[in-house]
Structure 1
Amino acid sequence: MFGPSKILATVRASGCDIKTPGHVPLDVENYPVAPEDLTLEQVHVYVRHGERTPVKARMTEYIPPQWQICHVARQFKAAVAGPGAKETLEVKRVVERKDGTFDYGECTNAELTDFGRKSTFNFGNALRKLYVDRLHFLPDTMESNEEVYLRSSNRTRTIESLQQVIHGLFPLDKQGQFFVPHICVRNKRDENLYPNTSACPRLNTLMEEFARAAAVSMNPTLEPLDQKISKYTGGKPIRIDGSPKASGILETIRAATANGVKVPKEFLDPAVMDPIEKAVIVEWFGGYAVSPELRTLGVGRVMDDVSQKMQRKALKKSEDPLKILVNCTHDTTIAGVLQTFGVYDQKWPAFTSQMTFELFKDKSDPSPPQSDSYLSKFTSSFMRPKIPKTYYVRMRYQNDTMILPACTPPGNHLEGRPEFCTLKAFAETIKEFTPADWEAECAK
């Protein structure tokens, strides 16, 4: 068993430079600048939360159940009610074990770790270096929430990750006198930053059906691993529908290695982890490649948000001041979107994975902005204003530019540059998997 000294010894105390499997920092220097006749108009960023602990302790005889890498969040100031207009209470939070003992800096399940805070801060800082320092797309000092939209799923690890991103993108000395960042969250019923199975019974049913199908097709591929790793799981084989589940083992190992926690050497062997990863990806995301209904209920609403905001920007032009939208989300969203667009690399999204959609305008566009009354008139009817032909969308993931299959036909992209999809083709693609009535379709 692991005592406190053994637990601490498993964590690298040399800093926050752990290399997460698949982790790719935003590469500012090699960012591909758009052609000179295009100007950047709006950026939608989706970033997975930073490194965290596992959602539950597994294989505790071989992987420590307590991790002492959550020091940053343990001391803070809380807003409290009192006689003064504004009062704060300085507190120090500790994680108490069932025997009543505690250690400062110990993490709870699924908590953002110190490494996760560092990686998300670094991502925000890289966004600043790219969109402020290099491209001069954003102002050096942010003065208004009209130019920036910040949103997180209503989970502590994503909210705290987004706070770190904000701190890197807009440090305190780069926030105007009246700028207070607004972090938007939604109630569970309205949440669309992840496939919302709890609010959508039909989506939950579909996910369960694909999980059962994956167990039939992928469990045989896991059988050769039994001799290598069942000794770590109490002699039980790892299966899609087993106990432990393959997804649980993958989640535990990825969280441990991302935070520098030792794992048995077998779990560092690609011959072991690759089959597990492949099987779990088929279970969780295989359905997006074959089921229009799953795409619609799983990621249709969040992608429709992107489409609608880009169309508004194209129609209102400079009268719409919104420039950057940063959304802190989850691996299930990123992989689901990638699979839906047909550009998924079949790798589990690492912590702090980033996916962006950039909107560009042709400088020669002569059309004037449309007024709000014009937009309201048409968007409230079956007719919609025509999307300008002079706008293009580029999707990027982990520093790679994605060429969307739907954008490759002639006329659907900037001539000679298939990575620049016309906004019209991009919006029409998203419309194919946008629910007409999400709640009604969920109730089927």
Structure 2
Amino acid sequence: MTSIQFRDPYSPAELRALYPAGLSLRQVQILLRHGERTPITWRFSSAGLPQFWPYCRHASTLRAALLDSRTQAFTEFEWSRHLETFASEGDDSPVPARGPGGAVANLCDYGMLTDEGRRSTYTLGQRLRSLYVDRLGFLPKRIESTEGVYLRATPIPRALESMQQVFLALYPPDSRSPDMAPPNIVSRVPAHETLYPNDSHCRRLAHLSRQFAKRAGERWDHTPEMRYVTSKIGKWMPPAAEGGGNQAVAVGSKPSLVGVMDTVNSTLAHGPATRLPTEFYDEKMRRILDTVAVEEWFAGYLESNEYRRLGIGSLMGDVVERMVGSAQATGAPGAPEPVKLALSGCHDTTLAAVVGSIGGPAALRNWPPFTSHIALELFSKDGATAPFREGAGAEPIRRTSTTSPEWSSEMEKALGGWYVRVRYNDEPVVVPGCRAPGKHLDGDVSFCTLAAFKSVVDKFTPTNWRKECQTDITGPAFPSKPEEAGY
């Protein structure tokens, strides 16, 4: 699967089962993968794949806010984006970039959100409005401000633009007060970014990633499955460095196995002008690519607590901290306005890391399609009160606070009546550690108690991510025995 296939809206019976009477929805946090994009680099020119794709009409004419020094005010500047490139492999002369048929207009850069990506993320926003505004009444039909709304995106433009598309559909202009201030969108410098597994700025995670990729290569590169892949598309791979002939497709080939899959998926998401030869779409081959890529990139989240801590633990700590903050503020006199809705524009690696870390292998079966999303929903039982600890006033319950059995037991009482449910592409995810009696809502294991969910996440939430990233950088990568995810 490459583009998300949205399921039909929930039927009335499904909606009643998913949002049962006696539970009140208090908070929704959405993590979303960006929409369809072009490949992040040019591959398979030998198979006739164009370097530049003509699918960015909606981003060809842009507007910028520029300072007019005469008036000391900002003015709108409209401009048209065109791409330029080298004339040829041996000629650095500048020439206009050209797409299929010699087109020079509406061309996309590498890794750019396409018109189709804008449409699919807008559709996601419409679905969120239908569910949370129209059917559940959880969010208001019209907003006067974005107080209680947390918007964030990674520094990569396609993630920011996708999140903006979702928000635009969730709250189109006619559902916002005319004098509403522009919404705040949070970003971070790359070195502090935790909205995806940041191995560029976490040296220990980079080492772990390389070692898990190396293991995947040792397991798969010389198997009948990989020989099958090479038999299908090997003739379009670049020449081998030694021995003549073309490279075999492998985890570490150039292009790499995941790079092959990325290009195949990107072409499938778009039009016939950018199609590869039919052999690239062989169903068996695509299943093999998906299986191996998922193991190479994401097996660490299923097997290693350290991998979870460094890859996605800081983000999940933030998510749970917002949940607890919302629970503490509900009904508490003078408490600050809690986050009611969070939208975060992120990536396939984010979603797979989250789903694998909390749901285990049963939840992480395939590579996340474009515009995939995770909804982390917080509920309270009717009558639940703000969970202040006795004698502690409004002292916050912070991340990693379940480090001792005594406090874990105390928190079970403090957070009683609060539940978390995770939906991945509209399907509930069962957290293995919440299956035990007392850890979930009676009769439905997909509703974790907030205390149990926090306990699972606390186990892989770092107290100092930046410090841990620089510790024991090249030490052993694999735990002595698998450390199961979701517990």
Query: Structure 1 length normalisation: TM-score?
Result: 0.91
Kindly, what percent of the aligned residue pairs are identical? 35
Deviations 1:354-403 (A, max 9, x none): 111100100132558799x9444775997988442100000111111111
CA distance in 1, matches of 2:396, 2:340: 25
Matches for 1:380-395 after TM superposition, within 5 Å = 386=411, 387-395=414-422
What are the within-5 Å matches in structure 2 for residues 233-244 of structure 1?
Answer: 233-234=237-238, 235-244=246-255
1:21 aligns with 2:2: yes
**1:67 correspondence with 2:67:** no
- 1:10 aligned partner: none
Which residue of 78, 83, 94 corresponds with 1:95? Answer: 83
Contact 1:79 1:88 in 2 (8 A): yes
Please tell me the residue identity of whatever aligns with 1:439. Answer: R
Aligned to 2:92: none
2:370 corresponds to which of 316, 332, 351 = 351
CA distance, structure 2, for counterparts of residue 253 and residue 241 of structure 1: 17
Q: Which residue of 2 aligns with 1:336?
A: 353
Instruction: Note if 1:45 corresponds to 2:30.
Output: yes
Distance 1:21 1:381, change over 3 A: closer
How far apart, in 1, do the equivalents of 2:116 and 2:55 lie?
8
Please, what TM-score do these two structures have when normalized by structure 2?
0.83
The answer as to 2:308 corresponding to 1:287 is no
- Give the superposition deviation at 1:61: 3.1
Distance 2:253 2:82 in 1: 34
Which deviates more from structure 2 when the two are superposed, residues 405-414 or residues 141-150?
A: 141-150
Per-residue deviation, 1:86:
2.2
Pair 1:259 & 2:247 matched: no
Structure 2 counterpart of 1:162: 163
State the aligned residue count: 424
Following the alignment from structure 2 to structure 1, what is the Cα–Cα distance between the partners of residues 398 and 31?
26
- The offset of 1:170, in angstroms, is 0.8
The residue type equivalent to 1:91 in the other structure is: W
Given that 1:26 and 1:126 are in contact with CA atoms closer than 8 Å, whether structure 2 keeps it comes out as: no
Report the Cα distance in structure 2 between the residues aligned to 1:268 and 1:380, rounded to whole angstroms: 45
Q: 1: distance between equivalents of 2:187 and 2:209?
A: 25
Which residue in 2 is equivalent to 1:185?
Answer: 187
The code of the aligned residue for 1:65 comes to Q
Provide the C-alpha distance between the structure 1 equivalents of 2:401 and 2:372, rounded to a whole number of angstroms: 38
Deviation string, structure 1 residues 12-46 (Cα, Å, up to 9, x no partner): xxxxxxxx635132643346331100010000101
Residue 231 of structure 2 is aligned to residue 227 of structure 1: yes
Q: What's 2:142 paired with? A: 141
Q: State the Cα deviation string for residues 97-119 of structure 1 (Å, max 9, x = none).
A: 32322411001000000000110
| Aligned-partner SS, 2:380 | strand
Whether contact under 8 Å (2:363, 2:429) holds in the other structure is no
Distance 1:377 1:352, change over 3 A: closer
* Deviations 1:88-137 (CA, angstroms, capped at 9, x unpaired): 11111111132322411001000000000110111111111111111111
- What is the aligned counterpart of 2:329 among 316, 319, 328? 316
CA contact (8 A) 2:317 2:399 kept: no
For residue 15 of structure 1, what is the aligned residue in structure 2? none
Residue 345 of structure 1 and its aligned partner are, at CA, apart by: 3.4
How many Å apart are 1:184 and its aligned residue?
1.0
Change (3 A) 1:382 1:362: closer
CA distance in 2, matches of 1:344, 1:147: 30
- Greater shift in the superposed pair: 200-209 or 25-34: 25-34
Does residue 1:430 correspond to 2:416, yes or no? no
Which secondary structure does the structure 2 equivalent of 1:61 belong to?
Answer: helix
- Which residue identity lines up with residue 351 of structure 1 in the other structure? F
Match of 1:362 among 369, 373, 381: 381
User: Residue 333 of structure 1 aligns to a residue in which SS?
Assistant: helix
Select between 352-361 and 74-83 the one with higher mean Cα deviation: 74-83
CA contact (8 A) 1:26 1:123 kept: no
Q: Which moved more, 1:261-270 or 1:236-245?
A: 261-270
Residues 324 and 367 (structure 1 numbering): CA distance in 2 closer, same or farther, change over 3 Å? closer
Tell me the SS of whatever aligns to 2:111: coil
Structure 1 residue 223 displacement after superposition: 1.9
SS of aligned partner of 2:24 = strand
2:129 alignment partner, SS class: helix
The secondary structure found in structure 1 opposite 2:64 is: strand
* RMSD of aligned residue pairs (Cα, Å): 2.2
Task: Output the CA distance in 2 between the equivalents of 1:46 and 1:366.
Answer: 28
How far apart, CA to CA, are the structure 2 residues paired with 1:403 and 1:428?
Answer: 15
Would you say the 8 A contact 1:43–1:324 is kept in 2?
Answer: yes
Preserved contact between residue 416 and residue 451 of structure 2 (Cα < 8 Å): yes
Q: Match of 1:81, SS? A: strand
SS at 1:241 equivalent:
coil
Q: 1:379 to 1:114 in 2, by over 3 A?
A: closer
Q: What's the CA shift for 1:309?
A: 0.5
* Greater Cα offset, 161-170 or 220-229: 220-229
Q: Which runs of 5+ in 2 are unaligned?
A: 88-94, 98-103, 239-245, 472-487
Q: In the alignment, is the contact (CA less than 8 A) between 1:317 and 1:369 conserved in 2?
A: no
For structure 1, list consecutive stretches of 5 or more residues without a partner in the other structure: 1-19
More moved, 20-29 vs 138-147? 20-29
Summarize the Cα distance change of 1:309–1:79 in structure 2 as closer, same or farther, 3 Å threshold.
Answer: same
- Tell me, in whole angstroms, the C-alpha distance in 1 between the residues paired with 2:448 and 2:182: 35
Give the 3 Å change call, closer, same or farther, for CA 369–170 of structure 1 in structure 2. Answer: farther
Answer with 378-387 or 284-293: which moved more: 378-387
Counterpart code for 2:222 = P
- Label 1:204 to 1:315 Cα distance change in 2 as closer, same or farther (>3 A): same
